[in-house]
Chain A
């Protein structure tokens, strides 16, 4: 009923004006209301009158001296008329204009794209409601206390009517479907435009405030992101209308230049603008006040050069007053959005918003949020996804045209993601970083940050099957295109792998990725790479190889070694490791078969031997080759591959002449002699169990070895050759036993082959004698050379061998022993400790045979 009254009054303007004129003054004394003047002056007839008048374009109001806002209401401004004439075209026009003024480039993903995504993603089937409480919106509209005059009563009634009119259009609407809700909001958007077009500026403002208030309502929380989109559309419309209106006010006599300054803005426009800000500052509730002020943020440029710069941080701080974290996050997203549109260079506020968001993240676990979720039956994971559009928008703003800022931010963000989320989210972050850092090769300037990202991921992800199942992890590594950095990154991954990969693995994902990483490290090796670097890279690769295990699938393991050999061929120690691995594989096969190979496994172990046999020659270190030939020979023997074993040992023997007199050990040249002696002793020990080759003569390998030793160019003044001869004596002695000291299961040694054949024994004895003869000749020579110390030592070692391995019942031999004893003590160089411990033994030699020898000393 009240509304009908209002309308009828509006039609008869002149009469009303006449009636009210004398009273208006009284009203202003006792009962000022900011809306009052608006109601009194808002009529269409009046505008008609103006139109007919001469071209006075001043727009200041006559009856509303206090409130320049009301000056908008007399309808002379071209914008309003235009808007009224073609309300539907208005948005398009404003939009194109906005485009012209756009500060962000096309490389910024526009809100309109995002907007659609959000609407499509956050939907609900729950019933929605729009509830507008009939609170007062502005603080000082309450001011109507002393109702003494009849006039102020009238004014008050009209005020309430106005409220009715406005709130009548937004009463409670319950049980809306999502589509109904969107339609309803669109209707509000339309009524906003209509209200504006018909110069009801305050009604327009009220609509916007009511809409903003809907954003504090988080019932049907799944729909909140979409609701945010719908309602901020209205705020955008409003912000444009206000801005365009003030802009138009300054267009007399000529339009404002695009890059206008505060000085170009006339006083009336400034006053109107200021009035909007005062009006908004008095909005009672926090959330609408924030949103509406943010919506007209751009208008600050009419008032003050640094208005926007001062307002953004203030609004950012004010958002802290919003208790609900979701509501606050979206308010931040909106503020960042308008901030980006108006002043994309003001990064500080964007960052501040992000940090405040993180700072208040704990609110999510607060009781009020948890209760709400329980009430709405929404699980926390689902609830958290509601934040994603807001956070992604804020981050997009922060990251815009700032790869450096972006990466600094992402570097921090990734740790948060690693700590609190799963590989899926980390993968998303990686994908995003790749997306941002790939254009213009931005990654080139961000290697430290990108490395830090990797480090952080490695701190939290020790399970490499999880790590490598992130699709974007390897593509991320591809961004490290500078060799040194790339290798460093691979190295850091390998270090973590070696430290944390406890169980051997056959996971193809891990193997492929690690092979890729190791290959990267390997391929960085070139002629200039220092030994130290090579060694450390090789160690890491070896660490990987040692963790590869295909279990019982031995063939797979072997083919892995084949692949690895091809991949890592430049790193010798990796080759060595591979040979060890293959040997180990053969032994493992033997263990599984309990020593009896089937045809298949026999073929397999031969394949292993073949692998080693062709790999060893590629090594440059001669001692590696020697020891691997020996080792592989032993393995072949253990697996009953006699001809393979023979080949290995023969290869080792034929290699001996190539051993240089000095080798490089840890960068220093050292005589190779002692290494060679060690190797030969080891080799001799193996020869005991190697059966003679049926096609070659007796003790073919022993002879071959001794020949090589004889021909070898030893150091001058060296006893090495003779020492080898001395060492060979125990072997020969062991070979002449009926039962050998040790043997290899399922391999017949010479003991069985010859079965103690006297011819064989004779061969051994002859050989031994030759050797002893050689040693004695050498001892003589030493006496001539006055090398008595060496003579003594050598004599003593031969004495030791005779003692241990010779049959001293043989007089000649025992005599020789005694002579050697004497010789070794002749010059007093023999080590007393050793000789004393052997003295009782030499006495024993003598006693049973009653030799009357005098042991001097």
Chain B
């Protein structure tokens, strides 16, 4: 029961927990216990890792180096917060400051939670205790945003027209019902903190439209000189039209880039993270028509 009477917590000053390289992570370590207690030292460590995994479909091909895909360390440091001693009963706050600096020429990539690529930063607090009491530890993820891009982003609208004739990968073009869908994306070089926008107009369609969706896709590439695995998976699928929409009326394309699951387009020697969006038309007879647009995400 005495163990249950102590809790350990890390509180960062910033509510959104977002930091940039060169800034200082400030916060407190919060200890709450009913009675005074002994400890053998409290330490705080910071770590930034890129975890790479190969998809099961790629494993067969790259079995040879499956195990060789090791996490890439971006940052790692450790500080002592308190020497061994006694903590009084009640609430104790121990403030800390931890500079977010890299060593050498390493770059802090932006936090990203993907399927085959994960970039994550954590703070970990450890409290060593006597043999009788278990050591306590606490993890806390913080978020790194990369430095704003210096070059200006000039949005270039991309127009599109979808008809049976514009489709590739279809053997049954003649069997397709007639339709004409026009539209545009306001830009494919997107600022990650701003939504993807545009318009789509169903000019006409022989078969009623069932749905129009925006599918946000991540394309993750893991590999090295010997070979690589490239996988595209869906991040989210947002419906922008449901049912037999009014012909000739522009329907807005609007999608917020989800936090954590997207990051500025990233290309390194070991891995790549890229994004694409598919405009997907579902016709009432369940024909699925997809128009693909590679995106370039950046942060300003």
Chain A residues at the B interface, C-beta cutoff of 8 Å: 14, 21, 24-25, 28-30, 32, 49, 53-54, 56, 58, 60, 62-63, 65-66, 68, 139-140, 142-143, 145-146, 148, 216, 266-268, 270-271, 274, 277-278, 281-282, 284-287, 289, 314, 317-318, 320-324, 327, 356, 359-360, 362-363, 366-368
Contact = CB atoms under 8 A, between A and B. Distances in A.
Nearest to B248: A359
Which of the listed residues A56, A68, A266, A286 has the most CB atoms from chain B within 10 Å of its own CB? A286
A30 B51 CA distance: 8
Describe B's contact surface by its main secondary structure. Answer: strand
12 contacts: A62-B9, A65-B142, A139-B236, A140-B258, A143-B235, A146-B55, A146-B115, A267-B14, A286-B240, A320-B252, A323-B242, A360-B249
B98 interface: no
B252 A314 contact: yes
A30 B55 contact: no
B68 interface: no
Contacts of B11: 58, 60
Given A142-B234, A146-B55, A359-B249, A285 B242 contact: yes
Given A322-B245, A363-B246, A368-B243, 5 more contacts: A28-B120, A145-B55, A267-B14, A321-B240, A362-B246
Contact of B120 (A29, A58, A271, A359): A29
A320 B137 CA distance: 52
A153 to B, nearest CB: 15
Contact of A25 (B12, B122, B216): B122
Nearest to A321: B241
Nearest to A360: B246
Nearest to A33: B113
B233 interface: yes
Nearest to B18: A271
A32 B244 CA distance: 36
Interface in B246-288: 246, 249-252, 254-256, 258-261
The 8 closest A-B pairs by CB, nearest first: A323-B243, A139-B236, A267-B15, A321-B241, A281-B256, A323-B244, A360-B246, A368-B244
Contact of B237 (A281, A284, A323): A284
A320 B14 contact: no
Contacts of A318: 240, 251-252, 254
Describe A's contact surface by its main secondary structure. Answer: helix
Contacts of A356: 249
Contacts of B53: 30, 146, 148
B15 A68 contact: yes
Contacts of A21: 137
Contact of B16 (A56, A271, A323): A271
Which of the listed residues A65, A266, A284, A324 has the most CB atoms from chain B within 10 Å of its own CB? A65
B131 interface: no
A321 B238 contact: no
B140 interface: yes
A322 B260 CA distance: 30
Contacts of B140: 62, 65
B44 to A, nearest CB: 15
Given A53-B91, A271-B15, A28 B4 contact: no
Contact of A314 (B49, B234, B236, B254): B254
A277 B255 CA distance: 12
Contact of A286 (B9, B49, B239): B239
Interface residues of B, number: 61
B251 A53 contact: no
B163 interface: no
A267 B143 CA distance: 16
B90 A54 contact: yes
Contacts of A277: 256
Contacts of B30: 56
Contacts of A216: 242-243
B96 to A, nearest CB: 16
A146 B140 CA distance: 23
A321 B235 CA distance: 22
A216 B137 CA distance: 49
B245 A323 contact: yes
Contact of B245 (A54, A66, A284, A321): A321
Interface string B135-155: 001111111000000000000
A356 B246 CA distance: 10
A266 B118 CA distance: 31
A320 B250 contact: yes
B2 interface: no
B219 interface: no
B258 A278 contact: yes
B108 interface: no
Contacts of A63: 139
A278 B256 contact: yes
A60 B17 CA distance: 11
Contact of A146 (B56, B91, B239, B246): B56
A148 B90 CA distance: 41
Nearest to A32: B113
Contacts of B246: 320, 323, 359-360, 362-363
Interface string B159-193: 00000000000000000000000000000000000
A289 B51 CA distance: 33
B7 interface: yes
A60 B15 contact: yes
B209 A323 contact: yes
B42 interface: no
Given A32-B113, A148-B53, A360-B249, A324 B118 contact: no
Contacts of A362: 246
Contacts of B297: none
Contacts of B15: 60, 68, 266-268, 270-271
B208 interface: yes
